[in-house]
Structure 1
Amino acid sequence: MGICAKELRHYVVRPTLKHLKMWSPTAENLLLGTAARESELGFHIKQDRHQALGIYHISPRMHRNIWDFYLAKRSELSSLVRGLASQREFLCHPHHELATNLSYATAIAWLIYCRTEKSIHSLPEDDIKGLGKLWHNYFHRHNPGSVQSFVDSYERLITGEISQSSDSRTANMIRSL
């Protein structure tokens, strides 16, 4: 099992998006769904025979592209992202930040979507299939995963966890009676 979806949402994804001044419920759900589909919320931070790292499975090449072609033109945003990276490790091993620094990896994952210049925030936050289409079309264009695989991962790891925690609270309330 990977990271608790509720905790990832509240302690990593939401604060990171707010730090970047780009928070919306839709953005939050898209990143949670991406982490669910890519790594099962951190169960696998590196797959065999793949270079991609972290809960979002971002490749070193994509990481460089975000810095060279997207952030290079946006100095204020690049400063905010750089502020999330660790001081020394980022200079020595920048790609390792994708595996070891959840906030930094979340920022880079979000920027992969932002570079498409699609209006993500206009999509309803509960349109999981729509989020899956964004993931499929813009996050890993050459990934063999389907929109349905995104939806399935989201429902199993995000929606399912919310249901389980509600069921646990209800069971605990019943036991206390």
Structure 2
Amino acid sequence: MGIAANELCRHVIRPTLIYLGCHCPNAESLLLGIAASQSALGDALDSRRGHGLYRITELRHQHLWDDYLARDPDRASLVRGLASQHAFLKGPHLELTVNLRYATAIAWLLIEAQGTPLPPDNDIIGMARIWRQTFQPQGRLRDFAAAWQNCIAPLHSVA
């Protein structure tokens, strides 16, 4: 397993959501579940399926900037503030692998851009539906639930 769920939440997800002004327990749980499903909480960050903790493809990353963030310069500036000053200009997609807060912000914005209401933080199947809609259209709800049980459930109650 990669990063402990409670530490990922406390040191990366929660501060990023607070910084973006959209913190809530539902969002924390959803992002934890997505990280568990996509990369086993960072067990494998390098994949053909996408970059980093959330396995975001370069195309999705580019479309988010071009089609969503370009319409909101203040929000774009806020997100850009999470990226490395020089490295982002040379390799913006690498930020998804090496910069956990930036990757978390991008993952959240992909969800936000869908406009889907968040389920309660204990609704695993509701979160799985958002994961499938936003990150894995061919994904199976039971795979999300299994990743949750394997990576998060043992540690989530300790957080």
Q: TM-score, normalised by structure 1?
A: 0.86
Aligned length in residues: 159
CA deviation vs aligned residue, 1:73-93 (integer Å, no higher than 9, x gap): 011111110000000000000
1:131 aligns with 2:127: yes
How far the C-alpha of 1:135 sits from its partner, in A, is: 0.6
SS in 2 for 1:115: helix
Q: Is the 8 A contact 1:72 1:78 kept in 2?
A: yes
**Which of residues 144, 151, 159 is equivalent to 1:157?**
151
Q: Pairwise mapping of residues 4-153 of structure 1 onto structure 2 (< 5 A)?
A: 4-47=4-47, 50=48, 52-120=50-118, 123-141=119-137, 144-153=138-147
Q: How many Å separate the matches in 1 of 2:62 and 2:20?
A: 19
Give the Cα–Cα distance (whole angstroms) in 1 for the partners of residues 156 and 128 of structure 2.
19
* Larger Cα-atom Rg: 1
What do the CA deviations read for 1:26-76 (whole angstroms, capped 9, x no partner)?
1111100000000000001112xx151100000000000010000000111
How far apart in 1 are the matches of 2:155 and 2:49?
A: 29
C-alpha distance in 1 between matches for 2:136 and 2:63: 13
| Amino acid in structure 2 at the alignment position of 1:5 | A
TM-score by length of 2: 0.95
Which amino acid in structure 1 is aligned with residue 136 of structure 2?
A: H
What is the alpha-carbon root mean square deviation over aligned residues? 1.3
- Distance (Å, rounded) in 2 between the aligned partners of 1:15 and 1:154: 21
Give the distance between the partners of 2:49 and 2:6, measured in 1 at CA: 28
Runs of 4+ displaced beyond 6 Å: none
Q: Which structure 1 residue ranges, 5 or more long, are not aligned?
A: 167-177
Preserved CA contact (<8 Å) 1:51 1:60: no
After superposition, what is the alpha-carbon deviation per residue over 1:134-166, rounded to whole angstroms, capped at 9, x for unaligned?
A: 11122232xx32111001101110112246x59
Tell me the amino acid that sits aligned with residue 77 of structure 2: S
- Among all aligned residue pairs of Structure 1 and Structure 2, give the percentage whose two residues are the same amino acid: 43
